[in-house]
Amino acid sequence: MSRPIGFMKNSLWILAMALVAMAGCGKPPVNAPAELQKGFAKAEPPVKEEVQKASAQLQSGNYLEAMQLLDRAVSAQQGQNQPMNEEQRKAVGAAVVAVRQAIAKDPKLNTPQLYKAMTDLVERAYGEN
């Protein structure tokens, strides 16, 4: 059964927001860079390289660049006919949660470009492959 694109995008964004809500439920903030390294440890070298770059950008507060790099890594992995596993999806979710937590602390970070980058990443990672 085919679903309208708008429905899928809304569902994906709801999923991302659920990840954010879960992160704020009394749990300490996740270490997204470590989660990314762990989740993509067995990925192909080009994918791992993009993930390492994304992790570094997350750590330095360059959230837009981090989301774009991570989206490229996920795209590259899927382009090699290697679907994401659950650990990788959790790692991507942790990265999105970390960015949303940063935005909650500093709303000026919430730009249309960052919103689009996060939406694209969530759609690619959690959408129908």
Alpha carbon dihedral 123, 117, 110, 5, in 10-degree steps, equals -40
Q: Which domain holds residue 50?
A: 5-126
How many domains does the structure of the chain reveal?
Answer: 1
Q: What average pLDDT does the structure give for the chain? A: 82
pLDDT band at 83 (very low <50, low <70, confident <90, very high): confident
Say which DSSP state 80 is in: T
- Contact present, 126 and 13 (Cβ < 8 Å): no
Q: List, for residues 25-67, the tens digit of each pLDDT value.
A: 444 457 899 999 999 999 999 999 999 999 999 999 999 999 9
